[in-house]
Amino acid sequence: MQNKGAILTFAILLAAVCLYQLSFTFKARQVEKAAREYAQGNSDQEFNYLDSISGEEVYNFLGLKKYTYKEVKELELNLGLDLKGGMNVTLEVSVDDLIRALSNYNNDSTFNAALRQARLMQRGSQEDFVTLFGRAFEEIDPNARLASIFLTLELREKININTTNQEVLDVIRDETNAAIDNAFNIIRTRIDRFGVAQPNIQQLQTKGRILVELPGVKDQNRVRNLLQGTAMLEFWETYENQEVYPFLLQANERLKEMEAASSGNVSESAGVDTESAAVAETDTTAEESSLLSELEAGTESDSTDIGMDNLENFRKEYPLFAVLNPSTDQQGQLFQGPAIGIAHSRDTSKVNEFLSREQVKSIFPRDMMFRWTANSVDEAGNFFRLIALKANTRDGQAPLDGDVITDARQDFDQMGSNPEVSMTMNSEGAKTWQRLTKENIGKSIAIVLDGYVRSFPTVQNEISGGRSSITGLESIEEAKDLANILKSGKMPAPARIIQEEIVGPSLGQEAISSGLYSFIVAFILVLVYMFFFYSRNAGLTANVALIANMFFILGILASLGATLTLPGIAGIVLTIGMSVDANVLIYERVQEELRAGKGIKLAISDGYKNAYSAIIDGQVTTLLTGIVLYVFGSGPIKGFATTLIIGILTSLFSAIFLTRLIFEWKLKRTKNILFATKFTENWLQNTSIKFLEKRKIAYILSGAFIILSIGSLAVRGLNYGIDFKGGRTYVVRFDQDVEVADVQQALADVYGTAPEVKTFGASNQVRITTTYKIDDDSENIDNEVEAMLMKGLQDADLLDDNITLEEFTEDYQQSSQKVGPTISDDIRKDAVIAISFALIIIFLYILIRFTNWQYGLGAVVALAHDSLIVLGIFSLLYNVLPFSLEIDQAFIAAILTVLGYSINDTVVVFDRIREYLKLHPKRKREQNVDEAVNSTLRRTFSTSLSTFVVLLAIFLFGGATIRGFTFALLVGVLVGTYSSLFVATPIAYDFQKKLAKVAEKRK
């Protein structure tokens, strides 16, 4: 074996990287275990404990680098929401509303008709909405001009009467893109302040769609309101720090009196600890220090005579300043500006609670209010400033809001070195802005978005004409973000939930338990099978490779920051079964070489060489289907595809290179390496089944199944899940067993029509699917439908009448899913494209590898045969079997996996046929084909059996959520194995035979 040193080095390095990446997962679990022990079952205390140590160092890797708990969590192996509970939401920013706003809600009939037509066109197209709108506008009236509609005060600098329709569309696209980017930034900021661990927020490929994953959230209604609320941009006057500080001193004294009077002891809930209270110095707060940090360092404050020698006494004497560090320097001099103090993120709620007490509020001026900054002052994201705002208008509202902004862009100062934001206001805003800047020269104006201060620039002079610049920004990115916020403040950009999935923590924990149980059972079964079938020597070597393969898969998943989902676990377990195939191919080849009389060393060498072709061809075709799944899938399906792709690559490395290294090592120590036991040595050896003679029987049998499948599809159809038809699904667990008919009748009374209700797992758990008001995209519709669900169940005495909606969603509703009609159309279309594309690339790959279109035709016909039969079985048996047989994204993943498995099996057979035709060119083609197929039976049996056993373990122990998915795979393995022997091979043979006859006639 060549390059043994390089391969061994790579294996060691890969193992080291995987161990390094997985170590963060182990450390995170260790810290969370300590938190659970500390909290003693109190989830709030557990959350507060973990939040309090988020910035503390908890892991020192080999003494080389230290990591905080927050950093450890970011680097651990991510679990999907189906494994740990949480909320997955796809939002869509309404480009339709944005375009209406840009036109100042123009009533032009052509314009509004084009918008309606574009909405209809959007369901069947991948193009962006602006392009579809332009096309619809052109079709309705080719002579109409968009410039006349969008020639507004806000767009007058970009559009004039001579601007062409295409140029107007370009302007609209730029404006909507900026608004969408800003909506993304707003949502990201809101989620960051929501306090969710490991949120995932990303813009999807379809413009205007935003994916938000929130692990562990419980308050679904709050999240919906948070995500769908329209952004509020405001400009506020501010108080100076020097004006506020005396009031803070009085507030501290009042709090000290109140705390002492209430219990005689000062509460320790402020949450300050000795290791993380000090604010790290940054460029913007280089001189800011904390009285508390001075105490920790053992120094004496010049500004305040503390007179205490420990933190506990400090908390009693200064309850407010223990959680809010005043904005002073080390000498106690107050900083200028509206920032009155700094607090750790965990203490902001305590500061809010202190300042909202009526006895404390009465100390401050009536027009004074406080808002936190959106951006932290330190890189770790732990500390935030508190800003004092002045609400001196008659109605207490902001004197200026975002509607007055007509344009804003990122720019540079006159020196061209420092970033700034240039903004323009309309005439009404310009007048107010001139007054504000005139009255606040030398003071700050706070720019507030969604209740958080994004910036508080200092006014240098009076600004007239509505044109001004905001300077003092730290980076170009900050300037761009602020420009987007200002620019989109003038237009509504509502984001609507078009897809939603919620998994309760208990259901997630059950999924982890069942998924891990199925994984362990399947893994043990495969290890035992390989050990039994291929002897202690070869079987143990294969098992070492399998264990290494699992380690590599998990390590690479963690390295890539990928998310492990329940279908992902199924993908890993399926990879176990399929990775056995490479070992089986090698071992069978080695045994053939041994039977030919070769020595063990030469037999191993030639066995590996002769197996490479079949291994590569089989694995590459499966890899191609995995890539198709990854490209066209989303959510858990993308997770399944990720693990499948990684598993195929690592299994190739483990089976080909690691096992070879082990055998090379063993050959140096012993000459006796066995590749079979005495019980399996002659199993399926020297078989002489006449496969081609039986092909007509196979054609009849397959034809009957296909006709039955087509008939069932025509008569019964398929049970489409909400992925493909839109709707809402809820999994509800009751305190007692319930009848499906009772639940259905109860909900028919509130929804008007009976929803689909099925038992889901245990008899006290049901899955409810309804399309009630699925087309309604109003902001509170999801909460309304859930409230009606609870009311219907209560009216039927299936739930206690005293249960609140919050208790229902947290304790009884185990999971929920929503798919809007627009996204269901996209999912259905992507599924058709994925399957079609997979078939095409498989055909092309086989055509290239075998340089014979008949092989490709036989393979594609076999794949179509497999797909039809699996679809037919799902059509025949839905509502018959006691588990879900819905056609959804998971089913499409199963079908594509079946295609990958089937083509893997078929390619191995074709590869052996091609070899026999080269070795025995004078034999009859029929004899070569039969002998080639017979020679692969041992391999087919071992691979199919091991894969089937693995899937059976998942089916039995993997939980109700993926039972339909694994059932499709089980059926697919059986049908795929059959088709590779009795469909693909005979069809390729028959077409080759006919082609040969045509060639003879031409001669």
Q: What CATH number is given to the structural domain containing 444?
A: 3.30.1360.200
536 shares its domain with 615: yes
Q: How confident is the model at residue 216 (pLDDT cuts 50, 70, 90)?
A: low
| CATH code where residue 811 lies | 3.30.70
For 911-921, how does the pLDDT look when each residue is reduced to its tens digit (9 = 90+)? 888 888 888 88
- For 926, residues 6+ apart whose C-beta sits below 8 A from its C-beta are 692, 989
Please tell me the predicted confidence (pLDDT) of residue 197: 57
107 shares its domain with 219: yes
290 shares its domain with 276: yes
The answer to whether position 199 is within a domain reads: yes
Q: What are phi and psi of 306, to 5 degrees?
A: -65, -50
Output the six-digit token pair for 340.
């009155």
The answer to whether position 428 is within a domain reads: yes
The answer to whether position 84 is within a domain reads: no
Angle between helix 600-632 and 821-850 (nearest 10): 150
Q: What is the DSSP letter of 45?
A: H
DSSP, residue by residue, 873-911: HHHHHTTTSSS---BSHHHHHHHHHHHHHHHHHHHHHHH
Q: What's the CA gap between 73 and 79, in Å, rounded?
A: 11
- The owner of tokens 């809600």 is 105
- For 385, residues 6+ apart whose C-beta sits below 8 A from its C-beta are 327, 339, 341, 342, 372, 373, 377, 453
431 shares its domain with 481: yes
Please tell me the predicted confidence (pLDDT) of residue 279: 27
Question: With contact defined as beta carbons under 8 Å apart, do 478 and 497 qualify?
Answer: no
The answer to whether position 603 is within a domain reads: yes
List beta partners, residue 59: 67
Q: What's the CA gap between 979 and 906, in Å, rounded?
A: 8
pLDDT at residue 287 is higher than 50:
no
Please tell me the predicted confidence (pLDDT) of residue 305: 43
258 shares its domain with 324: yes
For 646-704, how does the pLDDT look when each residue is reduced to its tens digit (9 = 90+)? 988 898 888 888 888 888 888 887 767 788 777 877 777 778 888 898 899 999 999 99
Q: Which of 755, 788, 819 is the last residue of a domain?
A: 819
Left (φ > 0), alpha (ψ -120 to 50) or beta: where does 86 sit? left
**How many structural domains does the chain have?**
6
Q: Which of 22, 44, 76 is the last residue of a domain?
A: 76
712 shares its domain with 861: yes
b/e per residue 24-56 (b: at least 16 CB within 10 A): bbebbeebbeebeeebeeeeeebebbbbbbbbe
Please tell me the predicted confidence (pLDDT) of residue 298: 35
Q: What are phi and psi of 111, to 5 degrees?
A: -60, -50
Lowest mean pLDDT among 42-46, 238-242, 806-810, 948-952: 42-46
The gap between the terminal CA atoms of the chain, to the nearest Å, is 49
The answer to whether position 861 is within a domain reads: yes
Output the six-digit token pair for 86.
């949480």
777 shares its domain with 905: no
Q: What are phi and psi of 770, to 5 degrees?
A: -140, 150
Q: How confident is the model at residue 266 (pLDDT cuts 50, 70, 90)?
A: very low
Distance set, CA 915 to CA 419, 583, 928 (Å): 68, 20, 9
Q: How many CB atoms lie within 10 A of CB 234?
A: 20
Q: How confident is the model at residue 44 (pLDDT cuts 50, 70, 90)?
A: low
Q: How confident is the model at residue 263 (pLDDT cuts 50, 70, 90)?
A: low
Q: What is the DSSP letter of 324?
A: S
838 shares its domain with 790: no
245 shares its domain with 173: no
The answer to whether position 83 is within a domain reads: no
365 shares its domain with 257: yes
814 shares its domain with 832: no
The answer to whether position 903 is within a domain reads: yes
For 339-389, how does the pLDDT look when each residue is reduced to its tens digit (9 = 90+)? 999 998 778 888 999 998 999 999 999 999 999 998 788 776 778 999 999
Q: Which domain holds residue 814?
A: 727-819
For 837-851, how does the pLDDT look when each residue is reduced to its tens digit (9 = 90+)? 877 887 788 778 777
List beta partners, residue 202: 211
Q: Which of 499, 517, 539 is the last residue of a domain?
A: 499
> Quick one: CA dihedral 805, 811, 814, 815, positive or negative?
positive
Q: What's the CA gap between 189 and 374, in Å, rounded?
A: 7
Q: Are strands 325-326 and 727-733 parallel, antiparallel or unpaired?
A: unpaired
Q: How confident is the model at residue 728 (pLDDT cuts 50, 70, 90)?
A: confident
The answer to whether position 182 is within a domain reads: yes
Output the six-digit token pair for 578.
């399929």
443 shares its domain with 458: yes
User: What amino acid occupies position 364?
Assistant: F
pTM confidence score: 0.67
- Look over the chain and give the mean of its residue pLDDT values, rounded to a whole number: 80
